[in-house]
Structure 1
């Protein structure tokens, strides 16, 4: 089985965004959804269902962002 960066699409209450993507990216995202669904096109996640998990994964694995975010947070007070 192909190991993808996304594993599960959770169903949470969304915040609506309007974005425009290229046709090429849309085709790639449709194909990604099919692969994520085990090669089955039927019931594969739609591109709009992939965007948030992909961005979350990207942010979570961006080491420079995690390091900068940690540095910006105030130090925990021990008591």
Structure 2
């Protein structure tokens, strides 16, 4: 079994975002959605919905960012 960084995407109200992605990043996002769908048993109809949880996961696991946030809050 593949160990992906994301788990099942919670069913929440949609959030609109507008970004331009390079074609290679979009292809990878679509491929990631397909793999995640197979792993969780829930197809991802819109790969763009992965962007927010991916960004949230990235920021939550970035140690330098977390350290910086703690320093700013401590002031």
Number of aligned residues: 73
Unaligned runs of 5+ in 1: none
Moved over 6 A (4+): none
Task: Please give the root-mean-square deviation of Cα atoms over the aligned residues, in Å.
Answer: 2.0
CA distance in 1, matches of 2:30, 2:5: 15
Higher RCO (Cα < 8 Å, 6 or more apart): 2
Unaligned runs of 5+ in 2: none
Question: 1:1-79 maps to which residues of 2 (within 5 A)?
Answer: 1-38=1-38, 43-74=43-74
Higher percent of residues as helix: 2
Higher CA-based Rg: 1
Instruction: State the TM-score, normalizing by the size of structure 2.
Output: 0.82
